[in-house]
Amino acid sequence: MKKSLLALAAKRLHEANNVDEDVQYTDDELLQALDLVEAPQYFVDHQWESYKDYLRAPKTKKYSANGKKARGSQVHIHTSGAVSIPQKKDEFIVENKREPDDIEVFDMMHVTKKGSYVDDRSRVVASKAKADFANKLLEVGNSEHVDPEKRLEIAREVMQELRPNKKGRPCGHGVGVTKSQVTKFSYELRRMRRQSVSSENRFLLNKVVAQSKEIEKQSRQMKTMEENMNNFIGQLKTVLPAFFATGTSNAQGLGLHFIIYVFCRVGAALHNLGLSFRLAVHINCKMVLGS
C-alpha cells in the first residue's frame, strides 16, 4: 500500500509542478506530498492523518531503510509471489506426473512468464547447475536410463554445491526472523492497535458531544417558541371577547383581522422551526374572508 501511495504522491507532484514524469523525487518529498493525496476509502480522516505521521516518523524511516537494504542483499529474487515452493511442486506433479528435481524447482521460482530469468545472477546459477547436472549424468552412464531417484539425488547435490553457505553452519541457518523480532513486532502491533482504537474513540466522543450540544440548543429553541405561543394564546383569549362583545359587523370584521394578525405571528414563530404554518393560515383566512 505504501508503494502505491508514494506513486500517487509522485503523480500529484508532477501535476502540481507541471513537469515530466521522468523527474525523480526523494522519499522525504514523496512523504510530504501525501498531503496532496486523498485518503483511501477504508481510512477514517484521523486514521489517515495518523498513518501519514507514522510514515514520516524517523523510526519508521529507519525500518524502511533497513528493509530496503535487506531486500537488496537477497541473492536471488523469486517470481512466484505468494505461491510457496511446496505449492509449486504440487502443481508440477499434477501436470508432469513426477516429482521435480531441485534444478527444476529453481527454474520455477526464478523464471518469469516471458521465459527469461529474473536477473543475471539467477541465469548464471541455472546455467552452471544444468551443465554440472549433465556432466554428472554422463559420469553415471546414459542419462536417459538413469533411475528417477538417482536423478533427483544428483540434482540435489548440484544445487547444494552452488548454494552460498557459511563455513561451519548448515544451509539455511540464520534465515528468517528471530523470536525477539517476532515479540517486538507483536508488541508494536498491539500498541498501534491501541492508539488507533483510542483515536477512534476520541473522534466518536467528540461527535457525540457536538450532537448533544446541538440537541440542547434545539431544545432551548423549542422551549422559547412554546413560551411565545403561550403568550400569543393568552393575548388572544384576552382581546377576542372585547371585540365580539359589541355585536357589530365592523367589530366582528376587526376582530377577524386581529385573529389573522395573531395567527400570522404564531405562524412566523413556527416557521423558524421549519414549519410552513404561516402560509396555511393565510390561505385559510382568505377563504374565510372570501366566503
| 291: its cell numbers | 366566503
Given this model, what pLDDT does residue 3 score?
79
Ordered DSSP codes for 207-260: HHHHHHHHHHHHHHHHHHHHHHHHHHHHHHHHHHHHHHTS--HHHHHHHHHHHH
Say what the alpha-carbon torsion angle 181, 185, 188, 190 is, to the nearest 10 degrees: -130
- Residue 291 has what pLDDT? 42
**How many whole angstroms separate alpha carbon 265 and alpha carbon 229?**
9
The whole-number pLDDT of residue 192 equals 83
Q: Which of 275, 278, 239 is nearest to 259 (CA)?
A: 239
pLDDT in tens, the chain (291 residues): 677 888 888 888 888 888 777 778 888 888 888 888 888 887 888 888 888 888 888 888 888 888 777 766 666 677 877 788 888 888 899 999 899 999 999 998 888 888 888 888 888 889 999 999 988 888 877 666 778 888 889 999 998 888 755 454 444 444 455 666 667 777 788 888 888 888 888 888 888 888 888 898 888 888 888 888 888 777 767 766 665 565 545 545 555 556 666 666 665 555 555 444 444 444 444 444 444
**28-54: string of b/e by CB count within 10 Å (b at 16+)?**
eebbebbeebeeeeeeeeebbebbbee
- Rounded to a whole number of angstroms, the distance between the first and last alpha carbons of the chain is 75
Rounded to whole angstroms, the Cα distance separating 265 from 46 reads: 47
Angstrom distances, CA of residue 55 to CA of 35, 149, 188, 189: 12, 52, 14, 15
Spell out the domain ranges in the chain.
2-71, 85-166, 208-290
Q: How distant is the alpha carbon of residue 167 from its chain centre?
A: 46
- Tell me how far apart the alpha carbons of residues 108 and 157 are, in angstroms, rounded to a whole number: 18
> Which DSSP helix (H) or strand (E) runs through 266?
helix 249-271
* Global confidence as pTM: 0.37
Where does residue 58 rank: exposed (0-12), middle (13-18), buried (19+ CB within 10 A)?
exposed
